[in-house]
Amino acid sequence: MTEWMQERLHDDYAQALRVDRVLFDSATEHQRLRLFDNARFGRVLTLDDVVQTTEGDNFIYHEMMAHVPILAHGAARRVLIVGGGDGGLAREVLKHPDIVHVTMVEIDAGVVAFSKQYLPNLSAGAFDDPRLELVIADGAAFMAGAGESYDVILIDSTDPIGPGEVLFTDSFYGHARRRLAEGGILVTQNGVPFLQPAELTASMRAFKALFADWTCYLCTVPTYAGGPMALGWGTDGVARATPLAALQARFSAAGLAPDYYTPEVHQAAFALPGYVRRLMP
């Protein structure tokens, strides 16, 4: 009998993926990890039966979260990743030769160990890059503490349920702003606005109070069902106004060959449809 994984993140909407072969099914201290093969998406990682990443479409989310702020900034050297234990975001950040140091703060060591063993294609050697410092700690506590500042901060969190909930609070965003260097950029995972409108509005309300330039930009990830995903954007700089020609020059100099990101897509991602614009406070 064919098994289907049903994701019921929302009360009135679900998606299902066929489970061709279960590769791992266990619980860690914080959450239940499950990995299975799917003919369309390859290996699929779920946490508490919610899709986190797949071999097939992870490049979209990771490229857009990494390359948009780094190329818009133009002089980023130090990056902080909160979450991202699968290593996919670190993989994309470390493709930029000018990045000299990446700190990745992940609450669950089990996610990292699991991903190294079962999803090595996602990190693609990122965990072995000497520029990467892995810190196993609570991201909110790390952000609230004293420490170094960063040119780009990326919040690669789960949805605001359980351990991920604290990463969507006003106080967390305030601490993140304090850890940004001058002209620094904060980018956050803010869900699918069509199905999670309150999540985006709450984050944008906090960003409006904290940053001179605040908005979100969009990308479409098939397994993050329900429409395009929003990535929150906050900065006191002018990076969002970077001309297309400058983005193209930086993109060429970085030697990137992504499958989703282009400088043109970068600019277009900030053009928000009406229903998303109406979610802005």
Q: Give the catalytic positions in this structure.
A: 156
Give φ, ψ of 191 to 5 degrees.
70, -170
Q: Which helix (H) or strand (E) element contains residue 178?
A: helix 170-178
Residue with tokens 């857009």: 64
From 170, 181, 179, select the one nearest 146 (Cα to Cα): 179
Which burial class, exposed, middle or buried, applies to 83 when counting CB atoms under 10 A from its CB (0-12, 13-18, 19+)? Answer: buried
Q: Identify the burial level of 47 via C-beta atoms within 10 angstroms of its C-beta, where 0-12 means exposed, 13-18 middle and 19 or more buried.
A: buried
Task: Report the first-to-last Cα separation within the chain, whole angstroms.
Answer: 48
d(CA 14, CA 32): 19
Extract the runs of DSSP E, i.e. beta strands, from 68-194: 78-83, 101-106, 132-136, 150-156, 180-189
CB 230 within 8 A of CB 192: yes
Contact between residue 116 and residue 127 where contact means Cβ atoms under 8 Å apart: yes
Which residue type sits at 185?
I
CA distance 27 to 57: 25
